Structure 1
Amino acid sequence: MTKLLQTIEPILWRDERLHLLDQRVLPHKENWLEFHDSDAVAEAIKTMVVRGAPAIGVTAAYGVVLAAREAWFSAGENWQEAINPPLKRLAASRPTAVNLSWAIDRMKTASASLSKYESPEPALLTFAQQIHQEDVKANRTMGQYGADLLDNDSIVLTHCNAGALATAGFGTALGVIRQGFIDGKIEHVYVDETRPWLQGSRLTAWELMQEGIPMTLQADVAAGALMASGQLDWVIVGADRIASNGDTANKIGTYSLAVLAKYHGVKLMVVAPTTTIDWSIDNGSQIPIEQRTGSEVSEIDGRPIAPSEVHVSNPAFDVTPAELIDAIVTESGVVRSPSKENMKQLKSEEEK
């Protein structure tokens, strides 16, 4: 058994402040930012200081703690009203990741039971820390469930970054890869660069190299050739929102991988906590898709790579239909061949 290094923790609460590892400057610089107010946290989520659905949810929970502190100092016993505008700004920071709204709603429910005559910060901090700890525990559980699906010496491909950096620690898709490597199930990992933000080359490659997991970085467009070579066993990815029928929104390019995988007989695993499942929507057509600024595509590090004034489409996510997915792995269990009925069984297990 291989002993791995302790995984990265990108979110810390220390000295009454939120500390985030700035993922925009990795891997060349490890820069921690401190946050004292909720609006700054919302901007950090929007500008991708922190990214990945579970990490966004945990960060938002701490953002609510800061919002409660501000509301108490500004409005006293009327803090429960004063907290609403900053929470709306937090909720609007990124629309696709359902973990964001889930965490804020959970914190709002907790705040409703608190006295209006004393500071809500201590109690809400306890709730936020609980969400944080639950995420790490869920990741490790998912890691084992997913690893158990792999054959020995598997070769896998992952897209974007669904590792410790995208969560409170350990990771979802990379949690499976970490655990699979520990268990001797994974021989090699291929990493898509993941345009336009290059989360694969900047973040996933860095994480895997930190822990000595054998990996190869490739251009996104090389995935089809890799599958055609017959080397690949699984595509393992995370998710930002899963509909109640199993349709899954993930980083743009995941749908293309799913189609290629189906054609080449490569299995596709989606790994995400149950908080990423939006039981209120029937299918993926109801998932809002974030459109980001065109400069992310037309520029690299602020340098133009396309003609000026070019029209750019820059959706941050696409939706993979459930029928292209072999397994959805959650901390509550595994859904094989996801469908409306199979997802209902998972919901029943979750509610027990």
Structure 2
Amino acid sequence: MTFKPEMYVEYEELIRDIKSIKIQGATNVALATLHGIKLISSKLSDSASQSETTDLVKSYGYELANARDNEPLARNGVKYILYKIGEAGKNLEDGEGNWRELLQELCREYIRGIEDAKKRIIENSKGAFSGIEEVRGIMTHCHSSTAVTVIANYISDNPHVPVVTTETRPLYQGRKTATRLIEKGVDTTMIVDSAAESFITDKGSFPIDILFIGADQITSDGSTINKIGSWG
């Protein structure tokens, strides 16, 4: 489910729902973080300074982005805004410009970037299935709204392909994946994490040719660190 900013008018609600996984997925958490910064920007007066704006973003932006441990897209959004504020300050004299309005526009700018990137991923997603002569089954571990859309789009043209999702304990994000896929009419089976090996080694009820798996950490050199349950 895509993050709906109109549902949140209080900053504290955003923090609560990010921590409780009600707001789930890297894209949604990033969108929620930027929406939270927009909400909290109301604390700035028309005469707010660059330093006041920077301090507000550092305080509230990072509180949102760090509400869960593994949300680099949200943290990158905060860093992007802080960088843009710094660049804008080079071209303005003290007392010039409305920093509250600039902050709100920077939030909108980053949100547009996220939405455009997701749209391109989905548009180009069929390439993820190229090179595989026959897709007999798909498996997911964890939850991604983008992955759900990619899978559903593929299966709309290939309705015979089944999907198996892991529960993804201890927070059960996989249950959300299963729910979203079923809502989109996808033939979906949910399994406990310990059953993943059976499917990957072709001992499940159908073979797996494609795996979508959550990467909890991606380092600067491209290495990934995946959650417990990422068998193999």
1:98-247 alignment, distance < 5 Å: 98-112=72-86, 113=88, 117-118=97-98, 119-120=100-101, 121-141=103-123, 143-162=125-144, 164=145, 171-172=146-147, 174-184=148-158, 187-201=161-175, 203-229=176-202, 231-247=207-223
Structure 2 residue 18 is the aligned partner of structure 1 residue 45: yes
Superposed CA deviations along residues 199-258 of structure 1, whole A, max 9, x for unmatched, are 212x1111111111111111111122223335222222232332244322334312xx2x
203-212 vs 94-103, greater mean Cα deviation: 94-103
Give the C-alpha shift of residue 181 in structure 1: 1.1
For 1:185 and 1:136, the matched residues in 2 are separated by 23
**Does the 8 A contact of 2:194 with 2:229 survive in 1?**
no
Residue 106 of structure 1: CA displacement? Answer: 1.3
Q: Which residue of 1 aligns with 2:9?
A: 35
Amino acid at match of 1:55: N
Greater strand proportion: 1
User: Does residue 76 of structure 1 match 2:48?
Assistant: yes
Q: Summarize the Cα distance change of 1:64–1:109 in structure 2 as closer, same or farther, 3 Å threshold.
A: farther
Give the Cα separation in 1 of the matches to 2:25 and 2:228. Answer: 13
**Which of the numbers 4, 23, 35 marks the counterpart of 1:12?**
4
Shift of 1:188: 0.8
| 1:57 CA displacement | 1.9
SS in 1 for 2:162: strand
Q: TM-score, normalized by length of structure 1?
A: 0.55
Amino acid at match of 2:126: Q
In structure 2, the residue corresponding to 1:35 is in which secondary structure? coil
In structure 2, distance between residues paired with 1:100 and 1:186? 36
Within 2, Cα distance between the matches of 1:48 and 1:122? 26
Per-residue displacement from partner, 1:133-185 (whole Å, max 9, x unpaired)?
Answer: 224314314522313244334212111112x2xxxxxx13x343223213428
The 2-side partners of 1:160 and 1:36 are apart by: 28
Q: Secondary structure at the match of 1:11?
A: coil
In structure 2, the CA distance between the partners of 1:53 and 1:226, relative to structure 1 (3 Å rule), is same
**Number of residues of Structure 1 aligned to a counterpart in Structure 2:** 219
- Structure 2 distance, partners of 1:253, 1:72, is 49
AA matched with 1:68: S
CA distance in 1, matches of 2:160, 2:45: 51
Query: For each residue in 1:93-123, what CA deviation from the matched residue of structure 2 results, as whole angstroms up to 9, or x when unmatched?
Result: 2232211211111122233427764232542
Q: Distance in 1 between matches of 2:153 and 2:183?
A: 15
Q: What amino acid maps onto 1:197 in structure 2?
A: L
Structure 2 unaligned segments of length 5 or more: list them: none
Distance 1:82 1:228 in 2: 52
Given that 2:165 and 2:178 are in contact with CA atoms closer than 8 Å, whether structure 1 keeps it comes out as yes
Task: Please state whether the residue corresponding to 2:4 is helix, strand or coil.
Answer: strand
Comparing 60-69 with 121-130, greater Cα deviation is found at: 121-130
Q: Separation in 1 of the partners of 2:136 and 2:45? A: 53
* Residue identity matched to 1:190: V
3-state SS, counterpart of residue 187 of structure 1:
coil
